[in-house]
Amino acid sequence: MKIRFLITSVLSLAVILSVFSLLFLYTYYDSEDYTVNAIQGPNEKINLIIDPGHGGADGGAVSITGTYESAINLSIAIKAEQISALLGYNPILTRYSDVIDYPEDAVTIRAKKVADQKSRVSLITSTANPVLISIHQNKYTSSGPYGAQVFYSNTDGSNELAEHLQLLLSENTDTGKRNSAVQIPDSIYLMNAINCPGVLVECGFLSNESEANLLEDNEYQLKLAIIIIGGTVGFLNQLK
């Protein structure tokens, strides 16, 4: 028992050291036209809202292995929450499980989805100084497309944050696909109803076999969370 405890403790320490090493890499990232300043300490004025897309009656897309998008989104979001807290921010998740309490009059799946989205918007708009990061997974009719892509709201600062995260994701994920940040379509209610900086990160394609396997891998999810949060924190500190 003591040996097992020692091994667990050593592994936990290794994970923590790896997280901070990667955070140093992604938060102090420099590019030709963009420099992210060093972390200057906790920022009590910013509340990072991390939105694991879908959940409850809405499982989202399904990977080729049968895993629901909602489960992958939540796993990445929880890791992102923990990293945010380590960096001194105030992370808030829009959901903490795949169980969602719906209003009694929300009987159909569509009604439940609408009620859930309105509840998330209410949380975001009632939070002081929020910055929204919505976590999703992509899917296409063919297995060809791959790579992370960042979408941005039409609110101030969203475009710049999205472009910054897109660059980090393109250069530091295992796929290395260079996509471009794109404005969110009008059909995405949550991203168009907020009044704060907001980005939606499609972490990869569940329809691509190799990428789907990565997206279900715990270590790769941690890497995504580090890039997204490290990049966001660095971007916010640069604005101070």
> Would you kindly state where each structural domain of the chain is located, as residue ranges?
45-238
Cβ atoms within 10 Å of 5's Cβ, excluding its own: 9
Residue-level pLDDT at 237:
84
Residue-level pLDDT at 157:
95
What's the distance, CA 103 to chain centroid? 27
Are the C-beta atoms of residues 48 and 84 closer than 8 Å to each other? yes
Question: Does residue 193 sit in helix, strand or coil?
Answer: helix
2-27 vs 158-172: helix axis angle to the nearest 10? 120
- Residue 237 CB contacts under 8 Å (≥ 6 apart), including other chains: 27, 36, 37, 38, 39, 40, 43
- Positions in the chain short of pLDDT 70: 1-44, 240
Question: Does residue 33 sit in helix, strand or coil?
Answer: coil
Residue-level pLDDT at 30:
43
Cβ atoms within 10 Å of 234's Cβ, excluding its own: 23
Helix (H) or strand (E) holding 227: helix 218-238
Residue-level pLDDT at 175:
79
Q: CATH top-level class for 45-238? A: alpha beta
